[in-house]
Chains A and B, each alone.
Chain A
């Protein structure tokens, strides 16, 4: 093999850099999600937290269609509790801190939902 010294050391450097995401992550700490400011006086959201975390936009889309198209503005949650299907009147009355609730997580996940170009964020936040 010609120039084996250079070829092999080059290959080793390449593999080290190429596999960095794998061994780099093994060495580093586990990922922890952002710290959100949660309503102090409430124990649970309208649905279980796993569902809310993963599906809140789906739920909001269903709320919008039900309220605007069918005139059904009361949401019956899986535990039987009823809520007005309204982002501003229901969600934001508990989650009064948009910057430390919505924005923190959306920033971490690099998503930019444009809810707030129309919907009014709660007053305590501006």
Chain B
């Protein structure tokens, strides 16, 4: 039997089209059979357009006042207590001149200068750490929280160079041996990643206030900065507050009542 080139091409193209259609149909039915995942928010989740914190520094005098918050945070997030320069800090305290570096006037109130102040990640509106992160391990959520995905962190430490507040710590060693009591509900970190305060985003998502706020009732306030009726907005209207390094324009979300 003799076949023309034309006949051969007809048969060949038809069989290829048929094979392709069969594969495509198989793929479609297979996809329909697969599990269709869906996700939703917790019904209890606390929501805000811009989370902010107001710390009443007049209420923090003794070491116990500070330690209550620091220990609550350290336990909630498995923060190790490493002595020396390789320490890991989520929330910590320091002197006036280290906290408000731009507002150190002469002959100020001795009481204010001698007071100690909480420091933590400021969850800036324009976070430099987010701009410099090459892997998007650090990102800003819609509610204003600057969060981290430790799975993506490659430990380049650009964010530590970018942050003007020293709010980020690098894990130079395996942090596990330095954690007093491991909280089984939160992961630890590993050697080679950067970590910082996350404004307790995991607690907000299940309807709880941040651990430090809970540990210091009436001393640290937390709420929606974009809502004029919120507690934090009222406190800001009624009290004189400072923010750290406002001239840099990062718009911190942590306010200090002086």
| A residues with CB within 8 A of B | 47-48, 51, 55, 59, 62, 64, 66-78, 82, 84-85, 88-89, 114, 117-120, 122-123
Contact = CB atoms under 8 A, between A and B. Distances in A.
Chain A's interface: helix, strand, loop or mixed, by majority?
mixed
B190 A117 contact: yes
Contacts of B149: 64, 68-69
B187 A119 contact: yes
A76 B39 contact: yes
B96 to A, nearest CB: 36
Chain B's interface: helix, strand, loop or mixed, by majority?
loop
A69 B183 CA distance: 23
Contacts of B45: 71, 73
B95 interface: no
Interface string B40-75: 111001000000000000000000000000000000
B217 interface: no
Contact of B186 (A55, A78, A88): A88
Given A68-B147, A71-B45, A59 B37 contact: yes
B184 interface: yes
A85 B39 contact: yes
Interface string B177-190: 00000111111111
B35 A123 contact: no
Given A117-B190, A120-B182, 9 more contacts: A48-B35, A55-B35, A62-B37, A69-B139, A69-B149, A71-B45, A77-B35, A78-B35, A89-B185
Nearest to B78: A120
Residue of A70, A73, A84, A89 with most chain B CB atoms under a 10 A cut-off = A73
A108 B201 CA distance: 38
Contacts of B189: 118
Contacts, number: 75
10 closest Cβ contacts across the A-B interface?
A72-B39, A117-B190, A66-B39, A118-B187, A78-B35, A76-B38, A119-B187, A74-B40, A68-B149, A118-B190
Contact of A118 (B36, B37, B150): B150
A64 B186 CA distance: 13
B236 to A, nearest CB: 25
A78 B38 CA distance: 8
B206 interface: yes
Contacts of B201: 71
Interface in B93-152: 139, 141, 143, 147, 149-151
Nearest to A115: B187
A78 to B, nearest CB: 4
Nearest to A48: B35
A123 B34 CA distance: 34
Nearest to B190: A117
Interface in B194-228: 201-202, 205-206
Nearest to B151: A64
A73 B206 contact: yes
Nearest to B45: A71
Contact of B188 (A55, A72, A74, A120): A120
Nearest to B37: A62
Contact of A72 (B34, B41, B185, B202): B41
Contact of B41 (A59, A64, A68, A74): A74
Contacts of A75: 37-39
